[in-house]
Amino acid sequence: MDFITKLLAATIAMGTSLTYATLGEIYTEKTGILNLGMEGTMLMGALTAFATAYNTGSLFLGLAGAIVIGAIFSAIHAFLSITMRANQVVSGLSITMFGTGLANFLGQRLGPQTNNFNLVGMNLQSKFNNIAIPGLHKIPVIGAFFDVSLLTYALYLIIPFAWFYMYKTKYGLAIRSVGEAPRTASAMGLNVARIRYLYTIIGGMFAGLGGACLSLSFTPSWNDNMTGGKGWIVIALVIFATWNPGKAVLGTLVFGGITSLQFSLQAAGFRMVIPSQFLGFSPYLITFLTLSILTIANQKRKSLFSAPSALGTSFAIDEK
Amino acid sequence: MKKLSVVFLIVLMATSVVFAQGAAETKVQASGPMKIGVIYVSPPGDMGYSYMHDQGTKAAEAYFGDKIEVIRMEGVPEDDRAAVAMEQLVDAGCKMVFANSYNYQEYMLQVAKENPDVYFEHCSGYLKNDNMSNYFGRMYQMRYLSGIIAGKMTANGKIGYVGAYNTPEVVRGINAFALGVRSVNPTAEVRVVWTNTWFDPSLERQGAVALLDSGCDIIAQHQDTTQPALAAIERGKYAVGYNADFRAIIGDDKVLVSPMWNWHNYMIPTIQSALDGTWKSQEYWGGLEDDMIKLSEISPLVPADVKQLVSKKLDEMAKGTFDVFWGELKDNTGAVKQKAGEKMADGDMLTMDWFVEGVVGKVK
């Protein structure tokens, strides 16, 4: 029991960052915009959060910085893919490459003079520590959910809200309409471009937050490429969650859980049952499976679990 | 509009490549100082492996003054871009090129063959050529000493070790550490998790957390970031660093000690031989006798008698009356790997793929 509780705690700690970014990408994709710039945006978020918190001493300013930079980076993507109607894949990949390079570049320039202006190796005065809720955190297994950082507690509110907003409000209906049938939505009087801009930028803010979770809480530090491909896993997790914000956390628990489990087994002296290379590609393997299952399910009948029909396509009122 | 966006994207992609590349600091000068190129796998600000190499480079710069001029290339990936970087350094007039990571070696050998009048120095590999040496240090000696400290400081006899890859270098370090632990604490065990990465803050931390969860009260590591040590300290446990002085970086005495490198003790003599024209290709594996490796200052939390024991063992190794892999050694299934009274050959150490008694875990 204790083993499972600890395993779950390790999974939640690591998965917080992934969950934020996954929620963000779900909202973006639901409007029909595919943002492959998550990796770069998350890394820029991690860098900005750490640099701000390090230089000002305020964790919350760090968070704010990450949100702002996430908004800026996704606004670039929104401009390219909505206003310019550029290829969303190319634009997203550019954001990732640009963001990754820029973050590593700035990481060597925003630190203190005593460390050659390098942020690597610097420590924060504080970080988002785990806060245990008295009584609750002692419960076996479930207790793991009640000894987490503020950033994780926030998710307990954000996830249900994100689900409610998407499926039970007129705003959510607008998002889904724009993502499913932009022409119809436009005819109904919705401003497709504005909605897409809004949620692409919000999605970027969440990606920035996801990065901040790493540099301010989970691995409080700045390191080049510290996101280590999490932005790509997010793209897979969105599909695994079938674009449902309520399920965003599922993939995080499954994939984070597999990683934590293999470390726990190793620490207990077992042979490494799952090669790490397998873990590396397993999110994508499960993406294949999910996509196949979704396709089969959709052939039977129009499923609720399918990708937004207009995902990745540009839209203009004056275009037939 | 579409054309404009395409142009914009091209510019964006082009600039991102520029940002992604390590910046080469090139200075053009006529003649005079010997130009030396240095290639690092990460920026020296990593406070780890490349940082320590750069300390060596800086010491060489200070020692030789205006007799040499160093061109650094940082964060060069271990693929064909490494060969390009080496060629750029040669084109910039470098007479000597150092590269500090294992997977550079194939590229270095290829560039070395094409440039027979340039001296190449590769760290941590095994390939060589008439104009290419390889060099490394006997870090296992320091791992052993840090093991003594860990063995004395553990309360429950469970020590965790976060390992990068199951290469002979890492396995040798774990074995030496475990032998040090067991020399003072014969029932203690060293538990190993592999992250399969030199550098990934999240995975390194997760490995350490799993070890801590399984009851380990000290975390040692063969990784490039301070995350394993930080994970231990956040739980009030002890840590053993690596590469640089983690106690200074983290600022916590619960980092008991860090095995460290002294690269300048190789770089300065070898640069001198290049200046003198006496440079010769070699396979160099230096230890205490050459002062290639050292221990950081030991934490004040470690009792004085333990510090004395460490310096005693250090003396013995320096004098050659004791070394880490002298028999009898058994592996962790009980099979004798080195008979009593025999010293392990370098070749066996360089290909080590088994764990000594006391290590929990599997190499493969």
Q: Give pLDDT, residue B253.
A: 97
Question: Cβ separation of A94 and B9 shorter than 8 Å?
Answer: yes
pLDDT band at B17 (very low <50, low <70, confident <90, very high): very low
Distance of alpha carbon B74 from alpha carbon A133, whole angstroms: 46
Looking at chain A, the whole-number percentage of residues with pLDDT higher than 70 is: 95
Q: Give pLDDT, residue A54.
A: 96
Average pLDDT (B259-284) is 95
Q: Give pLDDT, residue A29.
A: 97
Question: Cβ separation of B201 and A214 shorter than 8 Å?
Answer: yes
Q: Give pLDDT, residue A259.
A: 82
Identify which of B9, B45, B214 has the shortest CB distance to residue A268: B214
Please tell me which residue of chain B has the smallest CA distance to A111.
B45
Q: Give pLDDT, residue B25.
A: 40
The answer to whether A274 contacts chain B (CB < 8 Å) is no
Neighbours of B147 (CB within 10 A): 35
Question: Cβ separation of B210 and A266 shorter than 8 Å?
Answer: yes
Shortest CA gap B101–chain A (Å): 17
The Cβ-side half-sphere exposure at A118, using a 13 Å CA radius, reads 13
Q: Give pLDDT, residue B4.
A: 58
Residue type, B55: Q
Flag whether pLDDT at B18 surpasses 60. Answer: no
Please, which residues have CB within 8 angstroms of residue A166's CB and are 6 or more apart in sequence? Answer: A27, A30, A172, A175, A176, A244, A245
Antiparallel, parallel or unpaired: β B255-257 and B238-240: parallel
pLDDT band at B9 (very low <50, low <70, confident <90, very high): low
**pLDDT tens readout for residues A25-68:** 999 999 999 999 999 999 999 999 999 999 999 999 999 999 99
Q: Give pLDDT, residue B62.
A: 96
Question: Cβ separation of A260 and B9 shorter than 8 Å?
Answer: no
pLDDT band at A231 (very low <50, low <70, confident <90, very high): very high
Average pLDDT over chain A reads 90
Flag whether pLDDT at A320 surpasses 50. Answer: no
Question: Cβ separation of A228 and B17 shorter than 8 Å?
Answer: no
**pLDDT tens readout for residues A156-200:** 999 999 999 999 999 999 999 999 999 999 999 999 999 999 999
β-pair partners for B221: B162
Residues of A in contact with B203 (CB under 8 A): 228, 259
The answer to whether A226 contacts chain B (CB < 8 Å) is yes
Q: Give pLDDT, residue B29.
A: 42
Cβ-based contacts under 8 A for chains A and B: 151
What pTM was computed for the model?
A: 0.86
The distance from CA B192 to its chain's CA centroid, rounded to whole angstroms, is: 18
Distance of alpha carbon A106 from alpha carbon A108, whole angstroms: 5
Average pLDDT (B303-320) is 95
Distance of alpha carbon B122 from alpha carbon B132, whole angstroms: 7
Kind plus residue range of the DSSP H or E element containing B313: helix B304-319
Please, which residues have CB within 8 angstroms of residue B290's CB and are 6 or more apart in sequence? Answer: B265, B266
Shortest CA gap A170–chain B (Å): 33
Segment among A72-81, A265-274, B42-51, B339-348 with least mean pLDDT: A265-274
Q: Give pLDDT, residue B12.
A: 55
Residues of B in contact with A231 (CB under 8 A): none
Q: What are phi and psi of A147, to 5 degrees?
A: -140, 65
Average pLDDT over chain B reads 90
Shortest CA gap B177–chain A (Å): 17
The answer to whether A268 contacts chain B (CB < 8 Å) is yes
The answer to whether B12 contacts chain A (CB < 8 Å) is yes
Average pLDDT (B224-235) is 94
Q: Give pLDDT, residue A272.
A: 56
Average pLDDT (A79-102) is 95
The Cβ-side half-sphere exposure at A87, using a 13 Å CA radius, reads 9
Neighbours of B122 (CB within 10 A): 28
Give B329-364 as a DSSP string.
Answer: EEBTTS-EEE-TTPBPPHHHHHT--SPBTTEES---
Decide: helix, strand or coil at residue B5.
Answer: helix
Residues 158-217 of B with CB under 8 A from A: 160, 191-197, 199-203, 205-207, 209-211, 213-214, 216
Q: Give me the domains of chain B, ranges plus CATH numbers.
A: 23-137+262-286 (3.40.50.2300), 139-253+293-360 (3.40.50.2300)
**pLDDT tens readout for residues B122-173:** 998 889 999 999 999 999 999 999 999 999 999 999 999 999 988 889 999 9
Burial of residue A268, with CB atoms counted within 10 A of its CB: 0-12 exposed, 13-18 middle, 19 or more buried:
middle
Average pLDDT (B220-236) is 94
Question: Cβ separation of A6 and B213 shorter than 8 Å?
Answer: yes
Look at the alpha carbons of B163, B165, B170, B175 in this order and tell me if their dihedral is positive or negative: positive
Interface probe, candidates B193, B230, B242, chain A, greatest A C-beta count within 10 A = B193
Kind plus residue range of the DSSP H or E element containing B286: strand B283-286
Average pLDDT (B225-251) is 94
Flag whether pLDDT at A301 surpasses 80. Answer: no
Give the ipTM of the model, two decimals please: 0.87
Name the region of A249 (left: φ>0; alpha: ψ -120 to 50; beta: rest): alpha
The answer to whether B7 contacts chain A (CB < 8 Å) is no
Average pLDDT (A273-280) is 65
Question: Cβ separation of B209 and A277 shorter than 8 Å?
Answer: no
Average pLDDT (A124-152) is 92
Identify which of A14, A121, A267 has the shortest CB distance to residue B160: A267
Query: What is chain B's Cα-based Rg?
Result: 22
Please, which residues have CB within 8 angstroms of residue B111's CB and are 6 or more apart in sequence? Answer: B83, B86, B87, B90, B97, B120
Average pLDDT (B232-257) is 95
Decide: helix, strand or coil at residue A82.
Answer: helix
Average pLDDT (A4-22) is 94
Please, which residues have CB within 8 angstroms of residue B102's CB and are 6 or more apart in sequence? Answer: B78, B124, B125, B167
Identify which of B193, B202, B244 has the shortest CB distance to residue A228: B202
Burial of residue A67, with CB atoms counted within 10 A of its CB: 0-12 exposed, 13-18 middle, 19 or more buried:
buried
The answer to whether A49 contacts chain B (CB < 8 Å) is no
Average pLDDT (B318-334) is 92
Q: Give pLDDT, residue A296.
A: 81
A62 to A70, A215, B131: CA distances (angstroms): 12, 10, 50
Q: Give pLDDT, residue A261.
A: 85
Segment among A139-153, B35-49, B145-159 with least mean pLDDT: B35-49
Distance of alpha carbon A211 from alpha carbon B338, whole angstroms: 49
Q: Give me the domains of chain A, ranges plus CATH numbers.
A: 2-300 (1.10.3470)
**Strands across the sheet with B94-99, in order?**
B68-73, B34-39, B94-99, B119-123, B132-137, B283-286
Distance of alpha carbon B305 from alpha carbon B298, whole angstroms: 12
Flag whether pLDDT at A306 surpasses 90. Answer: no
Decide: helix, strand or coil at residue B42.
Answer: coil
